[in-house]
Structure 1
Amino acid sequence: MQAADLSAAAEVHQQAFIRQKQSLQWLESSLNAFPRFLSFVAEEHAGVVGYILWAQKSGFRDQAVMELDQVAVFPAEQGRGIARCLIYESLPLVKQQLCRQGSTLKHIIVNTRADNHAQRLYRSALGAEVVATIADLYSADEVLMLSRDMDGKA
């Protein structure tokens, strides 16, 4: 993601996360937090249709724990594999950035609503499994998913 992508990505955020506010400020602050946050977009026909945010957790470490902080696709474009593509295409870039800072990827964590069908995506794309449920965290129950031992995996 580049600064020029922010307005379009903010539109994706507004449509995908209707309970959240200040989309432009949210994404701009994530983009500006590089290398703690790594931000990528999916484009089709020269337009942004989705984005993904990865966050390094608990400091810069030799073995990094990354959080798939947020993945979003325009609602009209969902179901076409764009989110999966964002995960698969950005993860090698995340690993390259970690390598540049002398780190490897240890684990990936994801949290999402307990009723979010995207859990299937996180299971199949990352091998993530639910390890905890937190009642009434944001707008409903939230699950914490963990993908262990990612070093060496695609």
Structure 2
Amino acid sequence: MVIRLMMKEDLPSTALVHKLAFVRQNYSNEWLECNLNAFSRCLIYVAEIEKEIVGYIIWVQKSGFRPEAVLELEQLAVMPSYQGKGIGRKLIIKSLPKVKSQLALKHSFLKHILVTTRADNYAQELYKSTLGAEVETTISNLYSADEVLMIARNISK
């Protein structure tokens, strides 16, 4: 499996992953294109197996370009037929050093990572085990259900 920055030509395949992974969301192509166009604030990495995009991760810098960056792991998606095979974990683990390298280009380092997810999402355990993220609060009825805000603090220390 290859983890690499998303390119414009990856848009249709990545949009298909989004559409299948997030069935309540619309306009998959437009959503991802907007994020792709926001590089270097938004860093999107794709997981590719035998030239097929099977997942992606979106990292977003919060509140400006700062010496001590706070990132949000905004979205992580894996093609349903590939879920449960460790691809989401690999996307986090293998993209994070690449994100840190991008930050270093702007003389910045990673301080904290924010993650929001549904309160009933089993991915909370993934965020805890890969990033050390802990639930800080629950936000009632934010999107389709209650959401939790998780924070992984002092990542670079």
- By the TM > 0.5 criterion, same fold? yes
Letter in 2 for 1:104: F
Runs of 4+ in 1 over 3 A off after TM superposition: none
- Give the TM-score normalised by structure 1: 0.98
**Root-mean-square deviation (Å):** 0.5
1:26 has 2:31 as partner: yes
Distance (whole Å) between structure 1 residues aligned to residue 133 and residue 141 of structure 2: 22
Q: 1:94 aligns with which of 88, 96, 99?
A: 99
For residue 138 of structure 1, give the secondary structure of its aligned residue in structure 2: coil
5+ residue gaps in structure 2? 1-5
Distance 1:35 1:84 in 2: 23
Q: Which of 55, 75, 79 is residue 74 of structure 1 equivalent to?
A: 79
Choose the corresponding residue for 1:140, options 142, 145, 149. Answer: 145
Cα deviation 1:92-128 (Å, max 9, x = unaligned)? 0100010000100000000000000000100000000
Deviation at 1:70, TM superposition (A): 0.3
User: After superposition, what is the alpha-carbon deviation per residue over 1:55-109, rounded to whole angstroms, capped at 9, x for unaligned?
Assistant: 0001110100000000000111100000000001100010001000010000000
Q: Percent identity?
A: 59
**1:143 Cα deviation after fit:** 0.2
Cα separation, 2, equivalents of 1:40 and 1:4: 13
Report what 1:111 is aligned to: 116
TM-score (norm 2): 0.96
